[in-house]
Structure 1
Amino acid sequence: MKALTQGLLFISVFLLLTFKAYANQNITFEAGDNTIATKLCVAAVSNDLKKTKLYISRLGMMAGIHTGMYGRTSFASDDILCNDTDLVKFTAQYNAKDTFEFINKRALKKYRLDAEEIKIIDLARQQRMNNSPKVILITSR
């Protein structure tokens, strides 16, 4: 039993360190076009909560949604895809903690992730990545 506990502790520490290494990758996000939806995607994945709220608000006003930030964020989570991924998963994928929490709380139920889902780490992808700078081109639909 003690060996099992130690093994689980080792695995937990390993996954935590792997996750932190992934979160600190040298990644630059660039907009593929000049639309508000793409600007939202870039702001959200860059963990810029102030700009994320601004672009969600602008998109909501353009769509005629007058139910406040909650309704506009629900609309954005349902209507916007960033690199063919919904906003919630996209922010979780790149560990944009603040914007993820903001969007996840207000997203439609079908898009929300629970704490267990965001702890999953793709170790195979992690091994393919190295420390060289990455540029990710972002577009929306």
Structure 2
Amino acid sequence: MIQAESNQNFVFGVKNTKTNDGYTINFINIPQIFAKGKTYEETVYYSYRVLANFLLPFSDNLDKIKAYTFRTVDTVDMSENTFYSLITVTGDLDPHKMETAFILPQTTAAHVNQEADMLSKLINYQIIS
């Protein structure tokens, strides 16, 4: 298992989209997996499970896992219903230890509150009707 070999964390970039039916999380460097849910909290939970299931077969091969980590992004969709985040994964690939950090665009200090407010409205944990 990787944890015995490395205390390294892995970082995966994700595109989050608020849809009419809920939310979708797509992995930037792993296009074959995604998560869908009604609330943002539910979708994040599913994304952790999907990511762990995808990575577990590579648990003895650090290079395979590193090949899927966040390195580049071809296009960035800056629509009002899309935002980006990073998922940090511990070396044991445990989905219960995964964490999400939001990416806010570089802006002036006065504009940071507006960006954070807009993001909080997108992830408001309520079921979208």
TM-score exceeds 0.5: no
Higher helix share: 1
Please state which structure has a larger fraction of its residues in strand.
2
Normalised TM-score (structure 1):
0.29
